[in-house]
Amino acid sequence: MAAIEIIAFANFREASNLDDLIRGLPNIAAFVHLNWNSLQDLHSGRATTAYETLLKLSGDSVVNAFVVANPKPAENIPIVLGTPVSEFAVAKLILEENRDKWEACLKATLDGIKITKGAAAGIHATEEKDANTYVFVIGWSSIEVWFSEHRAAFDHAYASDIYRDTITLTDFAAKHARLKQRL
């Protein structure tokens, strides 16, 4: 079972809560994602000197944003995390009784990615400590393609319906990370 840790490096102060961080406080320096072989490896890895060194690189502030276990579909993990642009969308389910409808929306999103120019693949999982918080990651060929395709998507009923359901069923935010170098 794979696990992904998304870490926010901030250069101003620790965010008072995750919602503040995701909703765009100024001066965020970077989002980094670490792909672990398992949740157990993640927890063991946090006790290493290398992990401590990574956190020290942040300067004044590090906020561990999310840990997700068992992203699906598993075969898409290396594709998504290997693209030049990774879009991280975070959605907190508003009402648990809407889980089936929300998960159908996630499936529709994955299906839509398959036919979207410049989108490589997508994965999703729930946050380790909160099963109502979903993290969805989409890999893109470039930021320019992401920008043009997002604008064009709202001209299509399919994407508009997914977006409408997303903002109706969840509290939603998205961030983007451009990976320049693998460690």
**pLDDT tens, 11-21?**
544 444 555 54
**Average pLDDT of the segment spanning 129-134:** 90
pTM of the model as a whole: 0.72
Residues in CB range of 7: below 8 A, 6 or more apart: 31, 32, 33, 34, 54, 55, 62, 63, 64, 65
pLDDT computed for residue 121 by the predictor: 94
Distances (CA, A) of 110 to 40, 72, 81, 116, 123: 28, 10, 15, 10, 8
Task: Assess contact for 8 and 62: CB atoms under 8 A.
Answer: yes
pLDDT computed for residue 154 by the predictor: 67
Coil vs helix vs strand at 147: helix
Give 46-86 pLDDT, tens digit per residue: 889 888 887 776 655 555 567 787 888 989 988 988 888 88
Alpha helices (H) in the chain, listed in sequence order: 18-22, 39-45, 49-56, 77-81, 99-113, 143-153, 157-169
Q: What ranges do the domains of the chain cover?
A: 3-178
Length of the chain as a residue count: 183
Give 84-121 pLDDT, tens digit per residue: 888 888 889 999 999 999 999 999 988 988 888 899 99
> 91: closest CA among 51, 139, 157, 138?
138
Task: Assess contact for 29 and 7: CB atoms under 8 A.
Answer: no
CATH topology classification for 3-178:
Alpha-Beta Plaits (3.30.70)
- How many other CB atoms sit within 10 Å of the CB of residue 108? 15
Q: Is pLDDT of 22 > 70?
A: no
Coil vs helix vs strand at 51: helix
Can you tell me the distance from the alpha carbon of 168 to that of 38, in angstroms, rounded to the nearest whole number?
33
Check whether the bond before 73 is cis (ω within 30° of 0). Answer: yes
pLDDT computed for residue 60 by the predictor: 55
Distances (CA, A) of 31 to 3, 5, 87, 99, 121: 16, 10, 11, 28, 20
